[in-house]
Structure 1
Amino acid sequence: MKRIFLYLILSAVTIAPALAQKDADAKVILNKLSKQYRTYNAVKTDYSLTIDNQQAGIKETYTGTLIARSKTNKYKVIAYAAGTKKVAQDIISDGKNQWTYLKDANEVQLSAADNSEEGFNPAKIFTMYETGYKYIYTGQKKIAGKIYQVIDLTPEDSKKTFFKVRLMVDKVKNQLYSAQIFDKNGSTYNYTLRTFTPNYKAAETVFTFDKKAYPGVEVVDLR
């Protein structure tokens, strides 16, 4: 399950100025998007993640909830088992520590939060494109009466396991709608925001692991 989230955030990156030699139209859209997200104290989104590999006969959809406070690298991810509303995993970070709770094992793994460029950091999913990618605006797409701006990202590091990311941005709301990752192994990972709540009022306790809420849990300290 953790591997799924690694794809979901693409190897989340730190905020940095957009690099030169990139499509001007795409740059305008992305800069506007990231500027807006930076104004939010915290956000909450219910998401779906569909993994599709036709050659391997795989098509699975996962759902969950993400609460993120990007300014302080804090987040909580609640992931449900495929096709259900049963919690399979929680991933929580206070910016310094990360707790990964595995329900089947009733175990939580405690590790130091990795805030590096290659680190696992869902708090930065909304600004993942700001460094390490070339990008181009490919036009608009209409879905269910809404207009989305489509931007294709190509990683500058050819060693990445994926070769393209397709972002769809709601033109009216100026919000990220979906991110589709194209893997070199033939799989696609389509992350879609089903709901989005800006300036979500999240208490600090949301971003810490409360052992009392998980009776009998075993804590494995990996720090």
Structure 2
Amino acid sequence: MQIKIKNLQKNTSPTMSKRIIPILFTLFLSFSSQAQDAKAKALLNDVTAKVKSYSNITIDFRYSLNNAKENINQDSKGNVTMKGNQYVLNFMGITKIFDGKKTYTIVPEDEEVTISNFNEKDDSAITPSKMLTFFNSGYKYSMNILQDVRGRKIQYIKLVPTNSRDQRKEIMLGIDVKTKHIYNLIEIGKNGTKTTLTVNSFKTNQPLSKNQFTFAQSKYPNYYINKLD
């Protein structure tokens, strides 16, 4: 290899050398990037397979929203139970039930229930049922930092939306290397807003009521029922 390099130096003009070096450097970066992307894809596939192996999932989480420019800081907790694409979400005093066809948003403070049909074309929002597998389309991904969080190895994957109209600049997805469960999700908006969702507990295959994802209007006799569709 050394002999070949010497011969190349003797037979190559300075101008050609200046052209070859950047090309080799670009190829090196390209191969390195492809290797990183392959590792990221493999890990995301593991997460998806693990999620699909459970009959249901219950998560307690912490949510924070920060925007230094607007001086906004919000912190709250919530929980969600999911089975397939159905879910019951309790967050910021509001309960959302999705039975697979309709979404029921229950607001006790206003004594109101809003009922709306499911919009299959709305891919921008990460709903509870999408949160654990949303990354499978619409993003470029690459491996990022590996952190030790209280003895757990958390591998971060950087996701960049491919849709230029998406208001999110990037998403950092933290994955527990051992369990292949999502540990947290950090969204960075183009307007500087940073939202973080951190999983406090992750339970699977819990005994659920047969009416777990059914909205019972009889429980809200004095509520105003707002049907959007």
Distance 1:139 1:21, change over 3 A: closer
Match of 1:43 in 2: 57
Asked whether 1:126 is paired with 2:132, we answer yes
SS of 2:88's partner is strand
Asked whether 1:94 is paired with 2:108, we answer no
Bigger CA radius of gyration: 2
Match of 1:26 in 2: 40
Q: 5 Å matches for 1:1-223?
A: 23-70=37-84, 73-80=85-92, 88-118=93-123, 121-223=127-229
Aligned amino acid, residue 25 of structure 1: K
Distance 1:218 1:158, change over 3 A: same
SS of 1:158's partner is coil
Question: 1:21: Cα distance to partner?
Answer: 9.9
The separation in 2 between residues aligned to 1:133 and 1:21, in whole angstroms, is: 17
Higher helix share: 2
Distance 1:134 1:21, change over 3 A: farther
Match of 2:22 in 1: none
Question: 1:22: Cα distance to partner?
Answer: 7.7
Distance 1:94 1:197, change over 3 A: same
Question: 1:136: Cα distance to partner?
Answer: 0.3
The separation in 2 between residues aligned to 1:201 and 1:157, in whole angstroms, is: 39
Unaligned residue ranges in structure 1 (runs of 5+): 1-19, 81-87
Aligned amino acid, residue 96 of structure 2: I
**Alpha carbons 2:36, 2:143 under 8 Å: kept:** no
Deviations 1:162-208 (A, max 9, x none): 11000000111111000000011111000011111112222231212
Question: 1:215: Cα distance to partner?
Answer: 4.2
Aligned amino acid, residue 192 of structure 1: T
The separation in 2 between residues aligned to 1:177 and 1:108, in whole angstroms, is: 32
Deviations 1:100-155 (A, max 9, x none): 11122110011112233527542121000000000000131111121101100000
Distance 1:100 1:43, change over 3 A: same
**Alpha carbons 1:22, 1:134 under 8 Å: kept:** no
Question: Percent identity, aligned pairs only?
Answer: 25
Between Structure 1 and Structure 2, how many residues are aligned?
A: 195
Unaligned residue ranges in structure 2 (runs of 5+): 1-33
**Alpha carbons 2:104, 2:115 under 8 Å: kept:** yes
